[in-house]
Amino acid sequence: MSEGAAKKGEKPRKFQAIRGTRDLLPPETALWNRVEQTAHEVFGAFGYGEIRPPIFEATELFARGVGGDTDIVSKEMYTLVDRSEKLEPDPSIGSMNVFFQKVRELYKSGEIPTDEQDESALKIAEDQWKKVDDLLEGGLKSESAGTEIYKLVLFYDALRLGTRVSLRPEATASVCRAYIEHNMQQLPQPVKLYYIGPMFRRERPQKGRYRQFYQIGAEVLGGTDAPAIDAEVIEMVMTFFERLELRGVQLSVNSIGCGECRPKYVELLRAELLKVKDKLGPDSQRRIDTNPLRVLDSKLESEQGIIAKLPRIGDHLCKDCADHYAAVKRELDLRGVQYRENWRLVRGLDYYMRTTFEITAQGLGSQDAVCGGGRYDGLVELLGGPPTKGIGFAIGEDRLILSLQEARKEVASGEWRVASGKIGCDVYVAWMGEKAYATAIRAAKTLRAASFSVELPPVEQKFGKALERADKLGAKYALILGDNEVTSGEWTLKTLTDGSQQKVTEPQLLDFLRKL
Ligand code: ATP
Ligand code: MG
């Protein structure tokens, strides 16, 4: 029996959202919409256009774009094999040789991308099939027949039968892919794009950390690396946060140099770290080899004193990088953007260079970063495009919303209800009787067309009951339609906040409500 089918008499299984994912529900979704609407407005004002890349891409794109050594690519991606359409469903043992032949053809033509491991996996499966085939011919008399067949099935399962695709863990690689794919280098440069949407990372779920989370991000691709571009990108995020009245916003900036000066600094850092290796924790000890810059990221209390004495990248930038960094800070000053310098702010990926920044906000506990960004001039080239300048950022929308909610809890005022976009009901149409129902439908249609939020009960209710429900829904008005109203053409409009009542005719209704 299939896994999904319930046994007779058994209660059907109750489903829950998968760990690390969640439903966003009303009224909270209204806040999400407000945040996203504000992003459209602010980013639009800075001349950015929206891009909506797919949420899955070739795994290879992320492996190259995000970096094979990163946690994201090495352990956090949701990856599956998108089985080639040219392959039949799983074959029976007897016809596996034909199936393997087809797989071999697809490997050869490149339709199924392969590496050495795939080739040898196929060879092993084919050999195993031969072994099993011999056993079958011998009438399965051998004692090991069961084991050999089982092995064949395992080897079959291990084959790659299509392209590996992954749910996107971030969107920068996709945006760069799209820039190349659509020849955007032929457009006036730079090309300014923003996106809003879900990302997927298999991380340990906790407050502000989910497996499906949302990012609002932007990228500036092409043109120059003028410091004004870096500053304007940062100014745009800060303007967005200001517009949302996000609390406790702190911007940290740093420069992490370029391909010229950073490797020299990293070597110096490594040498200094080796001198204090014994005093470091196991993570940092490992990173001395793999990525010394990441040691600077450490939050371990016992390491803070040691890290404070390490050489700082700011003192080891080449002249071009030092000038660029100084100019970015000047440009931020010109724009009235307040920042702190944090020499320990690094980004783990190789392609990041020069300007890096991070923004934190209040009410988020230890996951308090709401935005990370930086310059990545080499990335488009790394993905097969022309040499292209690039800078961008990604805002964690879940954390942004959490912080807004935390702040609003402190100001327990009615203003928040409006801001959070409590599902509105302007008019509750209370009707009784067949004739009144037709009028009620017409009234609801007119009001909704004029953008009023209207609740029309689907079944007849006594007026008392209807008004009770209107109250519960927080409706501002009740439009009362009974036989009397329909006959006289004079409708009753009740203001629920003060209980007052007036008569209005159908043509007067809209004007009347608009004036209130
Ligand atoms: P962190 O150090 O918090 O893991 P990160 O460096 O992995 O962040 P980026 O890849 O730079 O984050 O993503 C930008 C922003 O996206 C982060 O600042 C954060 O607000 C948000 N973010 C990242 N991962 C998650 C997640 N699993 N759940 C919710 N938000 C996330
Ligand atoms: Mg992370």
Q: Which atom of ligand 1 is nearest to the CA of 208?
A: 29
Give the integer Cα–Cα distance in Å for 375 and 225: 9
Kindly tell me the sign of the dihedral angle through the C-alpha atoms of 264, 268, 274, 279: negative
Give the integer Cα–Cα distance in Å for 233 and 377: 15
Taking alpha carbons only, the member of 199, 212, 204 closest to residue 170 is 199
Residue 140: per-residue pLDDT = 67
Give the integer Cα–Cα distance in Å for 195 and 179: 13
Ligand (nearest to CA of 369): 1
Give the integer Cα–Cα distance in Å for 59 and 65: 10
Q: Which atom of ligand 1 is nearest to the CA of 170?
A: 10
Which amino acid is residue 247, in one-letter code? R
Q: Which atom of ligand 1 is nearest to the CA of 72?
A: 7
Cβ(215) to ligand 1 under 6 A? yes
pTM above 0.85, yes or no: yes
Cβ(203) to ligand 1 under 6 A? yes
Asked if 175 and 193 count as a contact pair (C-beta separation under 8 A), the reply is yes
Angle, alpha carbons 327-347-45 (nearest 5°): 55
Burial class (CB in 10 A: 0-12, 13-18, 19+), 223: middle
Q: Which residues contact 390 (CB under 8 A, 6 or more apart)?
A: 176, 219, 220, 221, 222, 375, 376, 377, 379, 380
Ligand (nearest to CA of 396): 1
Residue 4: per-residue pLDDT = 54
CA 122 to the chain's CA centroid: 37
Burial class (CB in 10 A: 0-12, 13-18, 19+), 149: middle
User: What does the DSSP 8-state code read for residue 112?
Assistant: S
Residue 419: per-residue pLDDT = 42
Ligand 1, atom 16: closest residue by C-alpha: 396
Tell which one of 201, 297, 356 to mutate to probe ligand 1, the residue whose CB is within 8 A of the most ligand atoms: 201
Q: Which atom of ligand 1 is nearest to the CA of 217?
A: 14
User: What does the DSSP 8-state code read for residue 164?
Assistant: E
Cβ(369) to ligand 1 under 6 A? yes
Residue 99: per-residue pLDDT = 94
Q: Which atom of ligand 1 is nearest to the CA of 348?
A: 6
CA 119 to the chain's CA centroid: 35
The DSSP element (H or E) to which 445 belongs, if any, is helix 434-449
Angle, alpha carbons 280-282-286 (nearest 5°): 95
Q: Which atom of ligand 1 is nearest to the CA of 395?
A: 15
Distance 397 CA to ligand 1 centre (A): 10
Ligand 1, atom 8: closest residue by C-alpha: 369
Residue 297: per-residue pLDDT = 87
Give the integer Cα–Cα distance in Å for 361 and 282: 30
Cβ(168) to ligand 1 under 6 A? no
Cα distance between the two ends of the chain: 63
Tell which one of 167, 202, 209 to mutate to probe ligand 1, the residue whose CB is within 8 A of the most ligand atoms: 209
Q: What are phi and psi of 429, to 5 degrees?
A: -95, 105
Asked if 298 and 308 count as a contact pair (C-beta separation under 8 A), the reply is no
Query: Could you tell me how many helices (H) and strands (E) the chain has, helices first?
Result: 19, 16
Longest dimension (CA), the chain: 96
Binned average pLDDT, 10 residues per bin, the chain of 516 residues? 62 94 95 97 96 97 87 91 91 91 94 92 95 83 83 93 96 98 97 98 95 98 96 98 97 95 94 94 91 89 93 96 98 97 85 94 93 95 96 98 89 45 80 94 95 94 95 94 94 94 94 87
Cβ(356) to ligand 1 under 6 A? no
Cβ(201) to ligand 1 under 6 A? yes
Distance 87 CA to ligand 2 centre (A): 38
- Structure tokens of 398? 């879940």
CA–CA distance from 52 to each of 171, 177, 189, 195 (Å)?
Answer: 10, 12, 20, 6
Give the integer Cα–Cα distance in Å for 26 and 33: 11
CA–CA distance from 187 to each of 178, 301, 379, 436, 516 (Å)?
Answer: 13, 50, 19, 59, 50
Q: Which atom of ligand 1 is nearest to the CA of 370?
A: 20
CA–CA distance from 182 to each of 154, 174, 189 (Å)?
Answer: 42, 12, 14
pLDDT in tens, 186-210: 999 999 999 999 999 999 999 999 9
Ligand 1, atom 19: closest residue by C-alpha: 396
Give the integer Cα–Cα distance in Å for 340 and 366: 19
Cβ(372) to ligand 1 under 6 A? yes
Which amino acid is residue 251, in one-letter code? L
Distance 369 CA to ligand 1 centre (A): 7
Asked if 401 and 38 count as a contact pair (C-beta separation under 8 A), the reply is no
Residue 424: per-residue pLDDT = 73
Give the integer Cα–Cα distance in Å for 334 and 228: 10
Ligand (nearest to CA of 203): 1
Q: What are phi and psi of 163, to 5 degrees?
A: -80, 140
Q: Which atom of ligand 1 is nearest to the CA of 203?
A: 27
Cβ atoms < 10 Å from Cβ of 198 = 16
Ligand (nearest to CA of 211): 1
Cβ(367) to ligand 1 under 6 A? yes
Strand bridging mode 340-341 / 79-83? unpaired
Give the integer Cα–Cα distance in Å for 256 and 354: 5
Cβ(429) to ligand 1 under 6 A? no
Give the integer Cα–Cα distance in Å for 273 and 387: 34
Cβ(70) to ligand 1 under 6 A? no
Q: Which atom of ligand 1 is nearest to the CA of 369?
A: 18
Cβ(398) to ligand 1 under 6 A? yes
Taking alpha carbons only, the member of 232, 231, 201 closest to residue 214 is 201
